[in-house]
Structure 1
Amino acid sequence: MGIEIEDKFDVPPDYAIPDLSGLADVVGPKSYQLVALYYDTPDLRLATRGITLRRRRGGSDPGWHLKLPKAKGARQEITHPLTRSTKIVPPELAELVRAYTRGAELQPVAELDTRRSVTVLLDGDTKLVEIADDHVKGTVFQDEPKIVRWREVEAELLAEDRRAFLAKVGKRLRKAGATPSAAGSKLAKLLEPAPLPKAPTEPGTAGETVVAYLAGQVAALLAQDPRVRRAEEDAVHQMRVAARRLRSALKAFKSIVTDTGQIQDELRRLGAVLGEARDLEVIRARFARELAGLQPELVTGPIQTRLGEDLHKREQEAYARIDDMLNSDRYYALLNALDQLVSAPSLGRAAAKPAQDKLSAVAAANWARVTKAYDTAQAIEDPERRETAMHDVRKAAKRARYTAEALQPTLGGSMAKLAKLAEDIQEILGAHQDGVVAQETLAKEAESARQAGEDTFTYGLLIGIERNTAEQAHADFPRVWAETLKAVKKVL
């Protein structure tokens, strides 16, 4: 797996690659013949999202290649060894695009036969940029087969820390007559898939701002799907955050985008399944740090096994439940509903109002929910019930934060400040809650260890550390709350 960063250019048939020897050492050109068979659903669900899945022969990297959009000018590339069959996509790759195929069959849709001339630019022994001059013959298999021929040039960055050099190369190519390609890939140029439909919102309205934010979070959720399936670092957390942001926005902007109750319920379910694995991952890392900070003589019994391997086993079981969820019809139905949400949402009357006026009021209302939750909690005399109610304050602060972040592009710096203030409340309450949960987990593990006849001394030490963390956050909260209220008055 790697990150592909490249610039693509359209060039005329008689284009001449300019002299690049003044920029770096030049090796080449070297010629290859590449034949790539591309796979997609009959309605081009992958191409529409800028995804390419191909089986390629020839060149220096024959095999299967899956390219997923990552950022402008960059894509994540996942490879698989070449297989004999041209009809069956390797299951490992088919699995990674299920969020897009959603049960539809993958089949060959096009073939690209490319005569490639490669020049490499070097700085000493370091390869900086590879320039590929491609003469392409494309064949489309859908409906009536058609053949298209064209020429293009790609400049791919080989040294990630030399992006400025890639820009210099691009400038030299453009000066010689190359023009930046509008197509994200050869396949997109050949198939010309229809763009994703957009919601019919009016510019400058609350509806435009909210739907654009929702679309961004849907894209973020989809982008994490393959990473979660590969169990990549932080992927579960990022997917969970996207689901939470979506659900929070649908609650906050319910007068603008309406009738989203079922989507919210499904996002809650998705977040819960993701959260189980994420919470185990976090608490396992937390205990590992704390154990590492103790003197060796204070670590007694097989506590590292119980708090490490045992929790990791539970984490893997939680990942299996995530896998089941990501391959379920219910999940695909949620993704279909999210597509519909951002392309043809049900809009309320408030959607047509000017963004500045309507959304400022929404931000203020969501912060008011935080103060109301706090006042409700403080009015409860029973300490345990009050602590439970403070969890509602944390949830309200998280929603206020997400709402402010969603409105920042429209309402500016004041929303950035409000988001940070809400995050401060969320984090200090979270530090207290995490300490309490950690104590409960340690107490359960200590009881299991005690019943097994193991030394539980270290569990007591860790419980003391966690109690101190929770009590410190509890003691600091009144000051943070007072400072936050004062600062919010200046923002709102």
Structure 2
Amino acid sequence: MADTKREIERKYESDDSGLPDLTGVAGVAAVVDKGVAQLDAVYHDTTDERLAAASITLRRRTGGSDAGWHLKFPVAPGVRDEIRAPLSDSVPPELAGLVRSRVREAELVPVVRLRSDRDVRDLLDADGRLLAEVSVDSVRAERLTGGGGSAQWTEIEVELADDGDPVFLDTVEKRLRKAGVQPSKSASKLARALAETAPRGRKRRLPQRSAAEPVTAGDHVLAYVRAQRDAVVALDPAVRQDEDDSVHRMRVATRRTRSALRSYGKVLDRAATDPIGAELKWLAGELGVDRDREVLTERLTAALAEVPPTLVSGPVGSRLLTWANASRGGSRRRLIGVLDSERYVALLDALDALINEPPLLKAAAGKPDKVIAKAVRKDFGRLSGLVTEAIELSPGQDRDVAVHEARKQAKRTRYAAEAAVLALGDPAKALARSMKSLQGLLGDHQDSVMVRQTLREISAVAHAAGESSFTYGVLYGREEGRAAAVEAALPGAWQAITGTTDV
């Protein structure tokens, strides 16, 4: 079973002088010699080094105190999340899954072997607590693919203790710099090994960087689509590990992408993008199975907490809990199956192809402030018609449907405005904020509709079991009141938006 550790470290160049004296570093009461360990690590990647291009490392290491498989994801400069799995002959399936969005159908193969003699010192405070581990690593690198060469170097590594204060690393660095030690030019041993052992004339995938500043309307739209594609790929491991809010954020990225493809149909040919949009809708639906239930559960739980105890009749709380937990495990397994599927990988490949060889139309070459503004105004015009229709309808099912359609269009207009920020500046930012606010208002109404439907279902089950349905009626009535409040507030909210919109 894999476990995760936050790793905060800094690397420095080293020469024959070895490690400077650190006994005088502020906060350090003792420097303890832990001896020399022999480490042997084989790094795995695709033959075109896709993981290295994303600053991700996957290795199998023996020797030292943490032998096993280590998968490292970058978090910030000098900060990585290390996911560990027990030693085995092949890449553990759980780690292979975490890099699937990068690797796709390519094979993970050994690319570099690093053998290190690690001379370790522990920096301890006055109470004997570990502050940091400092090592001098004598490294020998050997390229295992592509006829590459070998290299060797020595470096100093300072790794902060678990739950340590990162400011302490600044204190250590100050002492090292005073002794003439300089930060390493490479972010990791693997990055240095790949650079120094690369076959002559071979072009490597460089670490991913931001695209050039967008110029045309097509550039702006593609920059937005690229950012959402990158978000989906980067969030994949977090979703697999069930990290908080990761499913929601990945779902939003898919919706933003689909919305941009629709809103900017004059820039990117919809004959080519509509099939991708259909697959994005499928993925968003799969991601939403648990998310929608979570939102309703939170609302129902909060609503029940507001009901006076004298109005709670029967095991309402346990009924809500049973409903909330229904099929949770099964849907979780289903989601992992979706991320492991060929259909999902094909979608990622299609997004790559869209970005690398975009189906640009004539308007793509136009000026962003004209082409993009026109698309945003078109979306806003559709929204205006839907909101007006919702306001004019009488309360009831038809109005509920109209408000729901207006909510979806507000979301689409918001995403179109977000994509337009680089081109249009503050007016687009203001519109995006207004749309987010309107989306929240209309979303509250839709949540009320869904909660009332859920209450009817749970109430029916409770009634069949011989339980009182009184409290469900109380909750239903309160939800009707919340929906009515939204409907009453909508005309004023819309008037305020139309009076300030300037796109």
Scaled by the length of structure 1, the TM-score of the pair is 0.88
Task: Output the amino acid matched with 1:45.
Answer: R
Deviation (angstroms), 1:442: 0.8
**Residues 369 and 423 in structure 2, CA contact (< 8 A), matched pair in contact too:** yes
Q: Residues 361 and 17 from structure 1, CA distance in 2 versus in 1: closer, same or farther, beyond 3 angstroms? A: farther
Instruction: Give the counterpart of 1:59 among 61, 64, 73.
Output: 64
Q: Pick from 58, 68, 85: which aligns with 1:80? A: 85
Distance 1:292 1:380, change over 3 A: closer
SS at match of 1:211: helix
* Preserved contact between residue 53 and residue 208 of structure 2 (Cα < 8 Å): no
1:112-169 residue CA offsets vs partner (Å, 9 max, x unmatched): 1122234455565565544443221112211336322123333444466844443454
Pair 1:96–1:199, CA change in 2 (3 A): closer
Contact 1:111 1:139 in 2 (8 A): yes
Within 5 Å, which residues of 2 pair with 1:12-161?
A: 13-14=15-16, 16-20=18-22, 21-25=24-28, 27-28=31-32, 30=34, 31-81=36-86, 83=87, 85-86=88-89, 88-121=90-123, 124-125=126-127, 127-144=130-147, 146-158=149-161
SS of the equivalent of 2:41 reads strand
Match of 2:215 among 192, 204, 226: 204
Number of aligned residue pairs: 486
CA contact (8 A) 1:198 1:344 kept: no
Residue 406 of structure 1 aligns with which residue?
Answer: 419
Distance 1:415 1:404 in 2: 5
Determine the C-alpha separation between the residues in 1 that align with 2:268 and 2:32.
57
Q: Post-superposition shift, 1:244?
A: 0.9
Q: Deviations over 1:338-360 (max 9, x none)?
A: 22223332323333334344434
Any conservation in 1 of the 2:214–2:223 contact (CA below 8 Å)? no
Letter in 1 for 2:8: I
Mapped to 2, the partners of 1:201 and 1:331 lie a distance apart of 28
Which residues of structure 1 form unaligned runs of 5+? none
Aligned to 1:348: 361
CA contact (8 A) 2:391 2:490 kept: no
| Distance in 1, Cα, partners of 2:139 & 2:158 | 16
Query: For the residues of structure 1 that align with 2:391 and 2:264, how far apart are their CA atoms?
Result: 28
Aligned to 1:235: 246
Letter in 2 for 1:336: D
| Identity among equivalent pairs (%) | 41
Looking at structure 2, the residues matched to 173 and 254 of structure 1 have their Cα atoms a distance apart, in angstroms, of: 56
SS in 1 for 2:327: helix
Is 1:301 the counterpart of 2:314? The answer is yes
Q: Which amino acid aligns with 1:347?
A: L
**Residues 216/179 of structure 1: CA separation in 2 closer, same or farther (3 Å cut):** farther
Answer yes or no: is 1:189 the counterpart of 2:202: no
Residue type of the alignment partner of 2:385: K
Q: Is the 8 A contact 1:200 1:344 kept in 2?
A: no
Q: 1:34 offset after TM fit, Å?
A: 1.9
Q: Report the residue type matching 1:44 in the other structure.
A: E
Cα deviation code 1:279-303 (max 9, x no counterpart): 0122123223333444445444333
Listed as ranges, the matches of 1:322-333 within 5 Å are 322-333=335-346
Q: 1:201·1:207 contact (CA, 8 Å) conserved in 2?
A: no
- Report the AA paired with residue 204 of structure 1: V
Q: Which moved more, 1:18-27 or 1:464-473?
A: 18-27
In structure 1, what is the Cα distance between the partners aligned to 2:232 and 2:334?
A: 18
Preserved CA contact (<8 Å) 1:450 1:456: yes
TM-score by length of 2: 0.87
Q: Is the 8 A contact 1:113 1:137 kept in 2?
A: yes
Alpha-carbon distance change, 293 to 196 in structure 1, aligned in 2, over 3 angstroms: same
Please show how residues 414-425 of structure 1 align to structure 2 within 5 Å.
Answer: 414-425=427-438
**What is the alpha-carbon distance in structure 2 between the residues aligned to residue 197 and residue 301 of structure 1?**
58
What is the CA distance between 1:388 and its match in structure 2? 1.2
Retained in 1: the 8 A contact 2:18–2:136? no
Q: Distance in 1 between matches of 2:367 and 2:136?
A: 49
| 1:395 correspondence with 2:408 | yes
How much does 1:450 deviate? 0.9
Question: Quick check: 1:48–1:196 contact (8 Å CA) kept in 2?
Answer: yes
Partner in structure 2 of residue 224 of structure 1: 235
User: Could you tell me how far apart the structure 1 residues matched to 2:174 and 2:370 are?
Assistant: 44
The 5 Å alignment of 1:316-465 reads: 316-378=329-391, 383-465=396-478
- Give the distance between the partners of 2:454 and 2:415, measured in 1 at CA: 29
Q: Measured at CA, do residues 351 and 281 of structure 1 come closer, stay the same or move farther in structure 2, by a change above 3 Å?
A: same
C-alpha distance in structure 1 between counterparts of 2:131 and 2:368, whole Å: 46
Residue in 1 that maps onto 2:198: none
Structure 2, gaps ≥5 residues long: 196-203
Is 1:280–1:314's contact at 8 Å kept on the other side of the alignment?
A: no
Distance 1:382 1:296 in 2: 31
Say what the alpha-carbon RMSD is for the aligned residues: 2.9
Distance 2:240 2:122 in 1: 35
Counterpart Cα distance in 1 of 2:172 and 2:385: 58
Distance 2:167 2:178 in 1: 17
Deviation >6 Å, runs of 4+ = 196-202
